[in-house]
Amino acid sequence: MTQDPVIKNFKAHENPLLGLSDGVSTYVMLYVQHAPGESSPDHVHPWEHQAFITEGAGVLVCGGKEYPIRTGDAVLVPGGVRHQFRNTGATTMSRVTVNPSESVKNQGRG
């Protein structure tokens, strides 16, 4: 039996945009927007994850160092390293983030 694809628009769904309830087994997908001056929480977790900056600019603070990021950048955040995405630009900074499914398994959502 073939599984049908899952297609969801970020405007009508919460994160993770694609998660466990959609049948993913390995990775979940999130879509995050930061208005000018906003940032993600300063946090650390054991898994690595990837982000793709779809619009805007800012910095990734990773391991205490700042790295400039902008539209079109693909980012690998290593596991076990404190990090934060900060919008330092004048427009919204948006990103698609891919995390392993273990990132949501203990949160009861997906």
pLDDT at 36 over 90: yes
| Domain definitions of the chain by residue range | 24-102
Topology of the domain covering 24-102: Jelly Rolls (2.60.120)
pLDDT (average), residues 80-102? 96
Tell me, rounded to whole angstroms, the distance of Cα 110 from its chain centroid: 14
- C-alpha torsion angle, residues 67, 94, 18, 6 (rounded to 10): -130
The string of pLDDT tens digits covering residues 43-82 is 999 999 999 999 999 999 999 999 999 999 999 999 999 9
